[in-house]
A = this chain, B = another copy of it.
Amino acid sequence: MTRIAVVGATGNVGRVMLEVLRERRLDDDLVLFASPRSAGREIDGRPVHVLDDGADLTGIDIALFSAGASTSRAWARRFADAGAVVVDNSSAFRRDPEIPLVVAEVNPHALRGHGGIIANPNCSTMQLMVALAPIHRAVGIERLVVSTYQSVSGTGKAALDELDAQTRAAIDGREAPEPSVYPDQIAFNVIGAAGSFPDGDDHTDEERKMMFETRKILEDPEIGVAVTCVRVPVRVSHSESVNVQTREPLSVERAVELLRDAPGVALGPPDVPPARWTPSPLQAAGRDEVFVGRLRRDESHPSALQMWVVSDNLRKGAATNAVQIVELISGDRVPV
């Protein structure tokens, strides 16, 4: 029996992690950890342990971290040293060249020879990679221009509460409470810079993640990535408007064939033209697939296509991929 620790079990992603582990029957021997704020809590009858110097890390086979980068930096190596394989959902290790950054359907081979810590990509990158890897393998991707429509759950529970409180005030005709999580009101509004700006940078950290992680996962430092990350008043699922310029021309028909066979991708029903099928965040919420719609020629460029990529940011964008990595390293599907 595999003992799996979930670190950050009470957060947005942590709770979905527990759901996905249950669905995939990996929940026989779970150990839950959270910050001291959650001391004394239980989830589904399981005690939530506080992650502090008294925490018992022995006997843990796999640890799924989703408690933010600072917790990962402080604790992931200690779990690994105690014998666990860590799958980390934070940004702490993604840029480390020694640490594999893995999308289960895209680059499972990168798991080979891991050193005890494996990084789970950022949610916005994750869904993009599932949709684009088949195209990159077939004809090569030259440049991407992406604009995102990211949901509030990606920021955490306090952000969802802020959306709810502001929405209720607006709909009741009251003054909305001052934003505290976001720099501007999110209810009935759009924030054209998701994430925060690293010192001296013109792009947000969220945009930098997509630029860097795309190249690392597709193992191609030459891919150009122009991205604008935007927060929208949606609870769950990120959407992305994607312009893909390929190295060799690619017809829509061939792209549909490639994506029809791609693991983890959902295209529309056969009677709806791929350019017209428009999956929505509500439709993708609670699902594991990456939905690809609006697939059409870009008439402004001889070798570019446009598409609309939607996926549940808490599931495939985080928890589901982490659990798929657990299956890959604990099963015999990819020998590591």
Contact = CB atoms under 8 A, between A and B. Distances in A.
Interface string A258-284: 000000000000000101101111110
Given A243-B226, A299-B226, A280 B189 contact: yes
Contact of A281 (B147, B189, B235, B306): B189
A149 interface: yes
Interface string A184-216: 110011111100010000110000000100000
A306 B228 contact: yes
A209 to B, nearest CB: 14
A243 B234 CA distance: 24
Interface stretch (A9-17, A163-171, A326-334): A163-171
Contact of A184 (B144, B243, B280): B280
Interface stretch (A20-28, A95-103, A111-119, A289-297): A289-297
Nearest to A146: B147
A108 interface: no
A62 to B, nearest CB: 34
A189 B233 CA distance: 7
Contact of A304 (B185, B226, B233, B297): B226
A300 B202 contact: no
B149 A202 contact: no
Interface in A281-315: 281-283, 293-294, 296-301, 304, 306, 308, 310
A37 to B, nearest CB: 26
